[in-house]
Structure 1
Amino acid sequence: MHLAVAAEWSSRTQSVTDLLPSPCLACGSPIGVHYPSGWACAVCEWRYGEAPDSDLAPPRVDVVYYLRHGDRVKIGTTANPRQRFTAIWHEEVLAFERGDRRLERRRHEQFAADRFGGSEWFRLTPAIAEHADVVAGGRDPWDVYARWMSEAAALSDRQRR
C-alpha cells in the first residue's frame, strides 16, 4: 500500500513518460511526458493541446535516408520520407542524415564500389552498415526526423515574429 501511495504522489509532483492522449500535432510522436501542469511531447517538447499556427507553411527538412531491403541498402534523399517510402520496398529505415542532393551524391561516391549499376541501391557491406549506425547514433531515425521538423517549425515561427 505504501508503494502505491508513493507512486501516486510521485506522479502528481514529478513527470511521468507515457502515451499521449493522441499523437503530437507537431511531430506525430505518440510518446509524451505528463507533468503536473500538463502534457508535452517526449520527442519535440510541443505542449499537448496547443495547435500549430495554421498560417505557417509546414517546415521543410531535406534528409538523406538509408533503407534496407534484404542485403541491399538504398541511399536517397527526400523532404517527405513518409510519403516517399510508400513507393519503395524496404524492411527497415536504418538512418536519416540531414542533407540534400549534394550530400546524397557524396554518399553515392563514397560507396561507389558497392553500387548496383547506376541505381541508388548498394550492397549492405560492413562499411555501409557502420556508416548508417554512426549516422543513427543509437536513436530511432523517426524520432530524429521528428525533432528536426519540430526545430524547423520553431525556427520558422521565431523568424516570422
Structure 2
Amino acid sequence: MAPLLAMVDTEDPAFKQIAAALQSMKVAGVELDEAAIAIAVKLGQQQHRDSLPGSWHKRHSAPERQSIVYYIRRAELIKIGTTTSPFQRCSSLRPDAILAFEPGGLDLEANRHRQFAWCRVAKRGEYFRPSPGLIAHIEATLAEHGPPDPLWPTVSTLGQGSVRTRRRPELPEPTSGEMATASEGAKILGMNKSTVVGWAHRGLIQPAGENEKGYPIYYVEHMKFLIERHRRWMNHKELPGDHAA
C-alpha cells in the first residue's frame, strides 16, 4: 500500500478515507492503476464530506427561506410588500397578478416605499398607483431577477383546489443534455438563484443527477422552458398604467 499512498496527497483532509478506499479495492482484487486511484480519491473525498457535521442536513433539507420584496396587482393598484413565505402570503392576499419580486427584506421594502412615495395611495400604506415610473421599475426587476414562481396563488387559481397539488407543467424532453446547478443555471440564463431554487423546491424541475461536489444538477432546457412559459403568460397580461400618458 505504501507506493499507492505515495501517489495521494497526504495533506488532503480526506486522506484517511482515501486510504481506506484503496485498501478495500485491494482486498476486492481491483487492479490499482492510476484510474483506480483516482476513483479511490473521489470516493474518499465524498465520504469525508458526508462525515462533516451538518452535511446530511445541508444536502437533504429544504432550501433556506429567503426574504423577498414582492410586487402584486390588486384591482387597479400595486402592492409592494415583503415576506419569507410567498406562497402563504399570496394565498392570503389572492392578488390579481404577481408582477415581480426581488431579494430583500424590510429595509429594501422601506426604500421602495420611499422611492415611490409620490404615487402612494395612503401615507403609511403599501398600495401604489400604477405610475409609468413604478411600471418601469417592475419590468426592470422582472428582467433582473426572473419570473415569480408560477405556483404562487392568484385570483385565477380560485376554485381549482390546492395550487400545490395541481398538475405541474409538462416539461419537454431535453435534447442538448446540458445540465447545471441552480447557481450555474441562474448565471447562464441571467436569473436570480432564488428563482431556480424555488422551482426545484416546489418540484417544477427535478434533479437529473449530482455534480462532482454532490450538488444537484438540472436540465438547462427545463429552466429555459419555465422562463419562456412565464413570459408568454405575461404577454397576455396587461399591467395597469401601461398606456398612461
Q: Which TM class, normalised by the smaller chain length? A: 0.5 to 0.7
> What letter corresponds to residue 130 of structure 1 in structure 2?
A
Q: Which moved more, 1:141-150 or 1:111-120?
A: 141-150
Q: Determine the structure 1 residue equivalent to 2:21.
A: none
Counterpart check, 1:106 vs 2:111: yes
**2:78 partner SS:** strand
**2:81 partner SS:** strand
8 Å contact kept, 1:95–1:136: yes
| Per-residue CA distance 1:88-122 (angstroms, 9 max, x = gap) | 14111110111111000000000001112121111
Deviation at 1:58, TM superposition (A): 4.0
> What letter corresponds to residue 129 of structure 2 in structure 1?
R
What's the RMSD between the two structures over aligned residues? Answer: 3.0
Q: Which moved more, 1:57-66 or 1:126-135?
A: 57-66
8 Å contact kept, 1:61–1:148: no
**1:137 partner SS:** helix
1:133 paired residue among 104, 122, 139: 139
Partners in 2 of 1:130 and 1:71 — Cα distance? 16
Greater C-alpha radius of gyration: 2
* Aligned residue-pair number: 103
Q: Percent identity?
A: 33
| Per-residue CA distance 1:40-67 (angstroms, 9 max, x = gap) | xxxxxxxxxxxx955x354111110000
**1:74 partner SS:** strand
Relative to 1, partners in 2 of residues 1:69 and 1:148: Cα closer, same or farther, differing over 3 Å? same
8 Å contact kept, 1:59–1:149: no
- Which stretches of structure 1, 4 residues or longer, exceed 3 Å deviation after superposition? 143-146, 148-152
Partners in 2 of 1:71 and 1:124 — Cα distance? 8
Superposition TM-score, scaled by structure 2 size: 0.37
Q: Determine the structure 2 residue equivalent to 1:146.
A: 195
> What letter corresponds to residue 107 of structure 1 in structure 2?
R
Counterpart check, 1:90 vs 2:95: yes
Counterpart check, 1:121 vs 2:106: no
Quick check: which one's strand share is greater? 1
Structure 2: segments with no counterpart, 5+ residues:
1-57, 151-191, 202-213, 216-245
> Using CA pairs below 8 Å that are at least 6 residues apart, which structure has the higher relative contact order?
1
